[in-house]
Amino acid sequence: MNGDHILSWIVYTPAAAGLVTLLLPRTAERAIKAFAFLASLVPFALALQAARAFDPARGDYQLVESAPWIRTATYTIDHHLGIDGISLLLVLLTAFLTPLAVLSSWNSVTRALKPYMASLLFLETGMIGVFCALDLVLFYVFWEVMLIPMYFLIGIWGGENRVYAAIKFVLYTMAGSLLMLVAILYLFFANGATTFDLPRLAHNLSSGALRLTSAEETWLFLAFLLAFAIKVPLFPLHTWLPDAHVEAPTAGSVILAGVLLKMGTYGMLRFCLPLFPAASLASAPYLCILAVIGIIYGALVAMVQPDLKKLVAYSSVSHMGLVVLGIFVFTTQGLQGATLQMLNHGLSTGALFLLVGMIYERRHTRAIAEFGGLAHGSPVLAAVFLVVTLSSIGLPGLNGFVGEILVLAGAFRRSPLYAALAASGMILGAVYMLRMYQRVFLGRADRPENAHMGDIGLREKLLLLPILAMMVWIGVYSTTFVRPMDASLELVRQRILHAPSPAGGYRVDQQERRTLPPQDRTDGR
């Protein structure tokens, strides 16, 4: 294997495996499942290797590879891949969750297994491609192309109302991303029609070689932001999410919550902040307010959901609001917390959807009122569910706590009010999650089908074990994960803080502009 092209291998192995899957005979279901699972382990192994080759002390792009893709008189588009500390974690998360998603579909997918597995694998290529692409057009291609497998996953293997949910998902995403495409093209022509290369555009913008008027910067920022805010989803653009989550098959929900939503916050960190720092500063107070509204609103709506999946979906709105808040307070802890929280949310919400899927497979319902006392019949399931619930509400010792406390600390530095409101969202989170747990698992099992639901089997235990291990690892020793992202986040922060402070935005004092000493950067861990 050529070490220089490791990112290409990570990106394209799943798609190649997806094509092979389509060629397997339709009746060989075991072979299809086994092949898809083994194939999805390859990018994970490669991603681990990439992580070993990655130098955490550097904040720039590493493992970079670039090759000409489209060369015409007008356009120069490169196949340019590279990762920094932020994308490394998300690549790892994607490569980690995909095999679990494949494994979770072992018995639940009964028809058209072959295209299902192929869709999951194609989806993985799109997602990892988004996190690795350093050319704006290439990024856009991965960003959009991912819609097709997700559309089919929801639309074919989804629940009752799947067609509506699938088309809503596609239309929402397309509306945002096509405007982003216009912004990408505009940026290209503003820069003298020379390059779509992200590092070079960022460099030209920061060095002043490419000057945007304040109006231009604001509009471009908004065009990018809209695409990402829909994906996150930021309040009030979240309405596609509950539909998509409820209708999607379990693996679809896991991927959707685990990875797809992160593409939005990743896009903010990767594009909005470094390319348009002044506009980011100017709009940050508004975005923080929307994020806080999302945190509280998501939690309040989750409280009254009668459906397990819908509850988890709205909890995502709440948790992702916290990530956005962490990004747009522009403090070291906020950015660290936001990035870590992306990882945490991927793990805990992914696990919640897996668990809900397991319950659904046994009981064919997700209505909370139908359950009660499941812990008697399925103690292992109940125990795992409890750990995941606690991780989701941020119990110390588990992963959620570290991310939340970092974001709250970061937000407090900017504005104690945001921190207070966001913290109240956390409390509400504990309320609805624990109440849900109580109503589903505790009490007497009044209904016989609840008492005899059956516990999880070996495959399911093996499926959940890695996630639980990760939760504990991050909760106990988050340094492993915070260290690689540190330098990259600091670059983003410096870029923001050296931008001219606009009217209405944050006031940044000189002291904050200094690079903070390491010990200050690592507090709160």
Partner 1 sequence: MAAEYLPVLPLILLVAGGLVILLLEPFTAPARKSRMGQIAVLSTFTAAYSLSFFWNAPERELFHGMLAVDRFGIFFQWLFLVITGICALISLRFNERENMNRGEYYALLLFACSGMVLMAASADLILTFLGIEILSIATYILAGFKRADLRSNESALKYFILGSFATAFLLYGIALLYGSTGSTNYRAIQEALAARLSMPGPALAGLGLLLVGFGFKLATVPFHAWAPDVYEGAPSPVTAFMLVGPKAAGFAALIRVLIQAVPILANDWRSVLWLVAILTMTLGNTVAVRQTNIKRMLAYSAIAQAGYLLVGIVAHNPAGQAAVAFYLMVYTLMNLGAMSVVLSLSRQGDARVHLEDYAGLARSAPVPAAALSLFLISLAGIPLTGGFIGKFYLFGAALSEGFIGLVVIAVLNSVLSVYYYFRVMVYMYMREPADTQEPPATIPAPVMAVILIAAAGILVLGVFPGPAMNLAAGSALALK
Among 1, 2, 25, 71, binds partner 1 (CB under 8 A): 71
Among 9, 37, 116, 140, interactor with partner 1 by CB under 8 A:
140
Q: Which is nearer to partner 1, 152 or 418 (CB)?
A: 152
Q: Which is nearer to partner 1, 219 or 314 (CB)?
A: 219
Which residues are CB-contacts of 213 (< 8 A; sequence separation ≥ 6)? none
DSSP secondary structure of 392-428: HHT-TTSHHHHHHHHHHHHHHHH-HHHHHHHHHHHHH
The residue among 171 and 465 lying less far from partner 1, judged by its C-beta, is 171
Name the 3-class secondary structure at 190: helix
CA angle (345, 260, 1) in 5-degree steps: 100
Looking at beta carbons only, is 166 or 470 nearer to partner 1? 166
Give the H or E element holding residue 17: helix 6-23
Minimum distance, C-beta of residue 274 to partner 1, in the bound complex (Å): 23
- How far is residue 188 from each of residues 143, 175, 462, 499, measured CA to CA in Å? 18, 21, 48, 21
Q: Identify the residue among 167, 386, 431, 434 touching partner 1 (CB under 8 A).
A: 167
Site for partner 1 (CB under 8 A): how many residues? 35
Residue 70 interacts with partner 1 (CB under 8 A)? Answer: yes
Q: Which is nearer to partner 1, 106 or 151 (CB)?
A: 151
222 binds partner 1, rule: CB under 8 A: no
Least distance to partner 1, CB of residue 71, Å? 6
205 binds partner 1 (CB under 8 A): no
Q: What are the C-alpha distances in Å from 25 to residues 28, 31, 32?
A: 6, 9, 8
**Cα dist from 87 to 91, 239, 386, 484, 503, whole Å:** 6, 27, 30, 10, 32
The one-letter code for the residue type at 484 is P
173-202: contacts with partner 1 (CB under 8 A) = 174-175, 178-179, 181-182, 185-186, 188-189, 193
Q: How far is the CB of 163 from partner 1 (least distance, A)?
A: 5
Report, in Å, the least distance between residue 156 CB and partner 1. Answer: 6
**Residue in 37, 152, 228, 240 binding partner 1, rule: CB under 8 A:** 152
For 219-230, the DSSP string reads HHHHHHHHHHHH
Number of residues that make up the chain? 525
163 binds partner 1, rule: CB under 8 A? yes
Cα–Cα distance, 46 to 329 (Å, whole number): 34
Shortest CA distance to 145 belongs to which of 43, 324, 18? 18
Shortest Cβ 212–partner 1 spacing (Å): 14
Q: Which of 128, 170, 287, 390 binds partner 1 (CB under 8 A)?
A: 170
144 contributes a contact to partner 1 by CB under 8 A: yes
Distances (CA, A) of 215 to 187, 208, 221, 312: 13, 16, 10, 39
Q: Report the residue from 36, 128, 130, 147 that binds partner 1 according to the rule CB under 8 A.
A: 147
We find the least distance from the C-beta atom of residue 305 to partner 1, in angstroms, to be 26
Q: Which is nearer to partner 1, 206 or 239 (CB)?
A: 239
Does residue number 165 form part of the binding site for partner 1 (CB under 8 A)?
no
477 binds partner 1 (CB under 8 A): no
Query: Cα–Cα distance between 447 and 374 in angstroms, integer?
Result: 10
Closest CA to 339 of 89, 92, 522: 89
- Does 257 bind partner 1 (CB under 8 A)? Our answer is no
Evaluate whether 440 touches 368 at the Cβ level (below 8 Å): yes
Of the candidates 2, 74, 207, 510, which one interacts with partner 1 according to CB under 8 A? 74
Supply the minimum distance, in Å, between the C-beta of residue 256 and partner 1: 18
- Binding partner 1 by CB under 8 A: which of 12, 54, 75, 106? 75
Distance CA 319, CA 455 (A): 29
244 contacts partner 1 (rule: CB under 8 A):
no
Residue 252 contacts residue 157 (beta carbons within 8 Å): yes
Instruction: Give the side-chain half-sphere CA count within 13 A for 278.
Output: 17
Using CB under 8 A as the binding rule, whether residue 213 contacts partner 1 is answered as: no
Q: Which is nearer to partner 1, 212 or 291 (CB)?
A: 212
Q: Closer to partner 1 at the Cβ: 57 or 163?
A: 163
Is residue 81 a contact point for partner 1 (CB under 8 A)? no
Q: Is the dihedral of CA 302, 308, 313, 315 positive or negative?
A: positive
User: Could you list the residues that contact partner 1 (CB under 8 A)?
Assistant: 69-75, 137, 140-141, 144-145, 147-148, 151-152, 155-156, 162-163, 166-167, 170-171, 174-175, 178-179, 181-182, 185-186, 188-189, 193
